[in-house]
Structure 1
């Protein structure tokens, strides 16, 4: 039955993408329209995960979400958080690799939503481009999501935290909001199957962009996230003890 439920979920996802894209296209041409359409689609997919797969989530620390736009610095273990963060936080854009824009419908929607695209092969130039795009998104009143480890990590793994989030925080005078979760224990990296259960999400208090150097700012964010990870890791079926 689990395989069948997953097939149904994937079928809905594939069919809903072009439908949502074309139905929402007129709204996507309005300011932040694509972001709002994307949020609705993400909420629909979360509903499907809950009611078809049985995959739910609990959020702790909602009271820590600031009223002003901030930079969400989150753990990245699966595709789940790209959906859930849109439901948990206000309208946002993601820092992502530009190749995602090439994906039919999904990538086109990302481009219309003015996501912050980077070319990892261009090094310093890529960082400058990210900062230039990011300040425009802040001026539009959008939050910014960045995965500081740069790529998806398996549940229980810890990657190298990069300074991009801290650099944006200081350049844009935006605080960092750390987010820990264990989505990879129910939706493993690059896996087809998603498992029923309850993902734990923890939101930390904002870390002031004036805290110190870029390295000190990111270290504070990393330490909080990884400390929380030790408390919620090892609960789901996809977790494999290292």
Structure 2
């Protein structure tokens, strides 16, 4: 039954993205950037709603109080990345427009990528690391000044449930360059929507939002280690079953030893 429901939801996504993306592209010259953003988020919201009723996947958020309350306060979100689910859910859950940092290859996906390319996002060429980081800082600074929150996945790609990828310092370097605090987020999406899986499982995806970590005067490597330590410890608290046989993360062991 889960397989059938998963295929129906996948079909629903495919059928709805085509007209929505075409309308977004057609409207993009005439709509303000934020209005276009929320129009596209409405499609993602529809997919979250469909997943709730078709797949039995629900969201639970811990730590709402850790988000800035000032409507103009900038923030850089650094989140665990286990599946596509968090890329859908976070724009719906967050009260501010989000600018994702992603590889430019996503722009070539028919319909979805076309609409994505019309939004204020930061797409980079990973093969040109120096130029990519310069673009992240330049565009990130401008977006943060407009009240858009920048979101990055420090592990760079989706990791299996119970695993830890290599945390890259790009988000911390952006935070230090702009003086903007980072907000770590742990996500248990792998329980319900495993990486690269067609068949999804019903359940609750927990988003745990950590306290803002100041970046002014920090070393980017040290800042990212603090983010990594919090996220990985929180993942073990939220989903202990997945980490039962996993060794403690290196960063956590180092922090404990220190």
Common fold: TM-score over 0.5: yes
Q: Shorter-chain TM-score category?
A: over 0.9
The 8 Å contact of residues 28 and 37 in structure 1, kept in 2 or not, is answered as: no
Cα separation, 2, equivalents of 1:174 and 1:106: 30
The aligned counterpart of 1:193 is 199
Return structure 1 stretches of 4+ with deviation > 6 angstroms: none
Alpha carbon RMSD of aligned pairs, Å?
1.8
Cα separation, 2, equivalents of 1:189 and 1:156: 12
Structure 1: state its 5+ residue gaps: none
Correspondence 1:76-115 to 2 at 5 A: 76-89=81-94, 90-115=96-121
Cα separation, 2, equivalents of 1:19 and 1:240: 45
Q: How many residues in Structure 1 have an aligned counterpart in Structure 2?
A: 240
1:210 Cα deviation from its structure 2 partner: 1.7
1:235 Cα deviation from its structure 2 partner: 5.5
Secondary structure of the equivalent of 1:133? helix
Residues 27, 66 of structure 1: CA spacing in aligned structure 2 closer, same or farther, 3 A cutoff? farther
Correspondence 1:4-15 to 2 at 5 A: 4-15=4-15
Residues 199, 108 of structure 1: CA spacing in aligned structure 2 closer, same or farther, 3 A cutoff? same
Correspondence 1:112-123 to 2 at 5 A: 112-123=118-129
The aligned counterpart of 2:55 is 53
The aligned counterpart of 2:39 is 37
The aligned counterpart of 1:21 is 21
Secondary structure of the equivalent of 1:177? strand
Q: Deviations over 1:29-73 (max 9, x none)?
A: 322233212211111111011111001111000111113131110
TM (norm. structure 2) is 0.88
Cα separation, 1, equivalents of 2:153 and 2:185: 10
Cα separation, 2, equivalents of 1:49 and 1:188: 14
Structure 2: state its 5+ residue gaps: 247-258
Matched, 1:152 2:158: yes
TM (norm. structure 1) is 0.93
1:211 Cα deviation from its structure 2 partner: 5.8
1:155 Cα deviation from its structure 2 partner: 0.6
